[in-house]
Amino acid sequence: MEKNKNHYAIIMAGGIGTRFWPSSRSTYPKQFLDILGIGSSLLQLTYKRFLQHFEKDNIFIVTNQHYLGLVKEQLPEINEACVLGEPAAKNTAACIAFASSKIHEINTHAVCVVAPSDHLILDENKFMDYIREALGYAQKNDALITLGIRPNRPDTGYGYIQYIEHDQESNIYKVKTFTEKPTLEIAQTFIESGDFLWNAGIFVWSGSAIRRAFKNHLPEMHALFQEVSKHYGTPTELAELQKAYEQCRSISIDYGIMEKASNVFVIPSDFGWSDLGTWTSLYEISDKDANGNVLKGKNIFAYDTTNSMISANGKDGRLVVVKSANNLIIVDTPDVLMICDKQHEQEVKQIVTDIKLKFDEKYT
């Protein structure tokens, strides 16, 4: 894809990745980890993916202010002005409003891709074909576009997008409904109907279209960032940004805008995607041994063990031995050992909440 000076990428890198605990911690979350064991973090892979097709100074990373040092350490080549630090975690709507207002000050003709920093994309060429199609449509139309993943199983861990025919000769369809994570029974009916996609949380729109959407559906947030934008590049910027975030409601872009707007479109996509949201999702995409096990790390010995995910850093020569286990997730870190049945993995988030209440930040 030829680099276009009006094309921008916004990479969201502020999450904590709770479901990847105990490897992902609030001080060093999932997007900065080499989860795939290939020598690059998920953030580095995402940045490199966009760097091939977007101008370097048109790629913005939005992260928590606590992670600014980590971003610069992992992406030493990035322009400091392209790393935006949020004073507080206020979900994806605030993150996108902040980055969009920054980019609008630079280029009123901007067309933006918004993507999480911690997703796996196996077929990058195909991914960029979909992005190219979406950018072209967004440039000419007042449209909020999302990439929907063609589902291959009734998964309860994803949101779903229902789409309907659109009178275009393109691969872009009108969105009918968004559904949050359904029950297994409902997910099954979605798959059988054939007109539902997984919500990947990857968006494309023009700067003017998303600004209009904020003005219509989240007017208070729009007004807050309109005010902050007057201070960009001045000594008062950080103080004004802090003030805005204190007043900002915490809401996702899906709830705040995508589920309400009438100009939402989706591109049914298939490019080897995983949100790598859980240990099981990493298990599913990893190479397995003859017993269906994924062993990540050194000094792991598994006997009579099947269909399990075992991760250990092997520091200080520590051995991990597992005997006669099935369908488990075992994660060994220097200060936490977690053993969990894969079927109950969605409960890890609640476990982390409980541990935080008892031990504060010590183990989270």
Domains in the chain: ranges and CATH: 7-274 (3.90.550.10), 279-359 (no CATH)
The whole-number pLDDT of residue 166 equals 65
Of the candidates 233, 243, 155, the residue with the CA atom closest to the CA atom of residue 199: 155
The average pLDDT across 283-297 equals 94
What does the pLDDT average to over 305-320?
Answer: 88
Residue 62, beta-bridge partner list: 12, 84
Model pLDDT, residue 169: 65
Cα maximum dimension of the chain: 64
If pLDDT is split at 50, 70 and 90, which confidence band does 168 have? low
Q: What average pLDDT does range 190-194 have in this prediction?
A: 78
pLDDT band at residue 153 under the 50/70/90 scheme: confident
Q: Lowest mean pLDDT: which of 94-103, 164-173, 269-278?
A: 164-173
Token digits for 4? 């276009």
Predicted pLDDT at 142: 95
Query: What pTM value is reported for the model?
Result: 0.93
- The answer to whether residue 284 scores a pLDDT higher than 80 is yes
Instruction: Say whether pLDDT at 192 is over 80.
Output: no
Phi then psi dihedrals of residue 144, to 5 deg: -105, 110
Query: 175, 159 in Cβ contact below 8 A?
Result: no
pLDDT-based confidence at residue 254 (cuts at 50, 70, 90): very high
322-326 mean pLDDT: 96
What is the C-alpha to C-alpha distance for residues 143 and 205, in angstroms, rounded to an integer? 6
Residue 314: what pLDDT? 66
pLDDT > 70? residue 145 = yes
pLDDT at residue 107 is higher than 90: yes
Is pLDDT above 80 for 2?
no
How confident is the model over 55-96, as pLDDT tens digits? Answer: 999 999 999 999 999 999 999 999 999 999 999 999 999 999
pLDDT of residue 346: 84
Higher model confidence: residue 315 or residue 39?
Answer: 39
177: confidence class by pLDDT, cuts 50, 70, 90? confident
Round the average pLDDT of the chain to a whole number and report it. 93
Q: Are 63 and 14 in contact (CB under 8 A)?
A: yes
Percent of the chain at pLDDT > 90 equals 78
Pairwise CA distance, residues 331 & 337, whole Å: 6
SS3 labels along the chain: CCCCCCEEEEEECCCCCHHHCCCCECCECHHHCCCCCCCCCHHHHHHHHHHCCCCHHHEEEEEEHHHHHHHHHHCCCCCHHHEEEECCCCHHHHHHHHHHHHHHHHCCCCEEEEEECCCEECCHHHHHHHHHHHHHHHHHCCCEEEEEECCCCCCCCCCEEEEECCCCCCCCEEEEEEECCCCHHHHHHHHHHCCEEEEEEEEEEEHHHHHHHHHHHCHHHHHHHHHHHCCCCCCCHHHHHHHHHHHCCCCCHHHHHHCCCCCEEEEEECCCEECCCCHHHHHHHCCCCCCCCEEEECCEEEECCECCEEEECCHHHCCEEEECCECEEEEECCCCEEEEEHHHHHHHHHHHHHHHHHHCCCCC
